Structure formats: structure tokens, C-alpha cells
Structure 1
Amino acid sequence: MTCQSSESTETIEGDRRVDNNTGAVESDESRIAAAMKELRNTGWYWGSLTANEAKEILQDTSEGTFLLRDSSQRDYLFTISAMTSAGPTNLRIEFKHGKFKLDSVVLVKPKLKQFKSVVHLVEYYVQLSRSSDKAASASNSRVSPVPPNGTVQLLLTKPVYTSTPSLQHLCRITINQRTRQVQDLPLPNRLKDYLSDYAYNV
């Protein structure tokens, strides 16, 4: 039988905490690295763009037009810049506990969905916005409804590309809009791999 002093026990527990923290950091780093890889494939990630530069790009666009850029604030990685009925606005994306979600007021934060991928987050809100847009068109509504508290409705419907996307990428997005079962399509494996490399429809 062996005995262990409280000091040595604390040392072991401390080492475990260090190992756990190291693992968490590595996990976060790999998640962010994967997010960056996906973002570079989108065509609408603008990198280190300033808020004023984003405003200039969006100035003459229609409501719902958006782009994604690096956040200018240290506590956040990315920011969505979008055109609203009141003009361009910015919405930060928070990264916490390995998940991405939109930044918002404290009372709303717990209700916001979290995503493992930034592109998945954007895709979700684009689909939500397009559904809302279709519903408004079906009811012949020409003006975006204004919430009673005077805030502006944020829609994400059309990305601004840094340059003209390749025909291959546009075809990939179109296919992804039609099906999620890429592996079941009668296509060469190389083409299936290309489709699977970016499994989003925005």
C-alpha cells in the first residue's frame, strides 16, 4: 500500500487541469482552422476588411445583401456586415466552447442556435431569411415589417463575392440546394469529393 500526500495529489490534479486546458485549446484551434478553410471556399469571406470598407461595398446594394469579414474587436473572430432597410449594419459572431453563434443581448443569447461551423451558421440564417422573404412576397408585402421596439429586421439573402465565383463552385452550390445525398448521385468519385468538400448551399 502506498500513501500520497495532499501536496502530491494537488500536483496531479493540477497537471490534469493543464492537460484538459491544453486539449481544449488544441480543439478550439483545430475548429477555427477548419472554419477558416471552409470560409476561403465561400467566395464571400473578405478577410481583414474594415467596417467603413464594408459599408462602402454594401452602400448601393439591396436589403439582405451581406458579406463576412474579420472582426475589428479582439474578443470576436468574425463579423457579418449586411444591408438592412435602414442601411448597412454589423453583427459579430461569437466563438465559445468550440461553437459559433451570433452576438446579441444577454436575454436573447441563450435562445440563439450554436454551430460548429461559421458557414453553417450563415447558411442557417440565409435559409431563414429566404423563407421569410418568400412568405412576404406571397402575401404581396413590399415593405419589411418593422418590430414594435424600433429595431431593424436583419435579413441575409444574397452574399457579396470578393470576385466572380467559378462555374464549378456555382454548380456545386446549386447541387447542394437540391440534395444532401451527394454520395448517391451517379457521378465519378472525384466529383463527389469536390461536392463534399463544400457541402453548403450559399
Structure 2
Amino acid sequence: NTHSVTQSFQLIVLQRKAAKRMPTLELKGWYWGNLTANEAKAILQDSPEGTFLLRDSSQRDYLFTISAMTSAGPTNLRIEYKHGKFKLDSVVLVKPKLRQFDSVVHLVDYYVQLSRSTDKAASNPQAVATGPNSTVQLLLTKPMYTAMPSLQHLCRIAINRRTQQTHHLPIPNRLKDFLTNYTYNV
């Protein structure tokens, strides 16, 4: 049985390394790496609802955790990584099946866009279980940066929010390449 535990641990280590090699993960500024749940809670404590960060999961079976500020305070959402796909683990959704993504950045980008497009007063399909029979609305709207991103990166995000057709913009090809190198809205 020690052999299967060792193999399982080695698989998790390999998956972690593969997932973290994604070049766009380091570009974010909202990926904090090896941060504990208590450290994340302290960082988010005085932030508005919807503020979030991505960190390495402290639980062995998960690669990443999203720490987010909700109306009930900071909470942690584990991200599963199985068969090369990422999905949220500890979120209760109205839809029966959680979406899966090719990268953790796609996952975060999707939920940020969903949170930004969902009117807070309307029923939000994202809810986080916080107690025996209670849930709070999950919003991921404002990334908590480890350091201020470059002006170029912030401009790229602003342009990506406005258009997905950067190849039609009247700018040099070098700038088009820069824009398409990171096509996310967060």
C-alpha cells in the first residue's frame, strides 16, 4: 500500500508541475503561489466582496485554491485537476454539472466574467456553502494583486474586455501579438 501512496503522491507532484508551467499563470499578478488559508484570509480581510486571489492548495489532492471575499467573510474554493481539466470543487451551483476548463486561468476568467455580468440583486448561479444550511453569493470581480501589474498588461486587459478581434485593430503587428499572448479579461 505504501507503493500506491507513493505513486499517487508522484502523480500529484507531476500534475502540479505541469499545471504551474502554464506561462499565463505567472502573468496574472493575482496568483500568490504558496500561501496558507490564514495568510489569504488576512490579505482579503478588509477587501470588498468579490475580491479574490489564486494560491496553491494546502490540501494534497488539489493544485489550487481561490480565496475570495464574500458577504460572510473570506472563503476558500478548491480547484480540482483531473485528466488535464480544471473545475471548482467546493461550490454548489444551481446547474447540476460544473464546467471544466483546459487551464486554471480559463476557469478564473470564466467565473470573473460570469460574476461581472450577473446583476448582484438577481439570482446568481454561484453559491458557496458556509454552514449547515446556508449559502452566500460567490462573486469574483476584483483580483488582489501581489504587486501592481505593468501599465502594458493593464491596457491589454482593458482592450481584451472591449474586443476579441484584436487582429482588426489599427495597430502594429507587434502590439497585436502582445494582445493575443494573453487573451483573458482578468
Q: Which residue of 2 aligns with 1:170?
A: 154
Higher strand proportion: 2
**2:62 maps to what in 1?**
76
Aligned with 2:59: secondary structure?
coil
1:120 — aligned with what?
106
* 1:193 aligned onto 2:182: no
Distance 2:128 2:57 in 1: 27
| Bigger helix fraction | 1
Root-mean-square deviation (Å): 3.1
Amino acid corresponding to residue 159 of structure 1 in structure 2: P
Stretches of structure 2 that go unaligned for 5 or more consecutive residues are 1-11
How many residue pairs get aligned? The number is 169
Provide TM-score, normalisation by structure 2: 0.80
Q: Which of 40, 43, 65 lines up with 1:57 in the alignment?
A: 43
CA distance in 2, matches of 1:126, 1:106: 17
Structure 1, unaligned runs of 5 or more: 1-24, 140-144
Identical positions, percent? 74
Residue aligned with 1:39, SS = helix
Q: Which deviations, in whole Å up to 9, do the C-alpha atoms of 1:137-192 show, x marking residues without a partner? A: xx8xxxxx999x41122111100000111110110000000111112222112111
Q: Equivalents in 2 of 1:175, 1:107: separation in Å?
A: 31
Question: Quick check: 1:32 aligned with 2:15?
Answer: no
Pair 106,180 (structure 1): closer, same or farther in 2 beyond 3 Å: closer
TM-score normalised by length of structure 1: 0.74
Structure 1 residues 106 and 164, CA gap change in structure 2 (3 angstroms)? closer
Q: Which runs of 4+ in 1 moved over 4 A?
A: 27-31, 105-110
1:1-150 aligned within 5 A: 32-35=19-22, 37-104=23-90, 111-132=97-118, 134=119, 136=121, 149-150=133-134
Stretch deviating more after TM superposition (120-129 or 99-108): 99-108
Larger Rg: 1
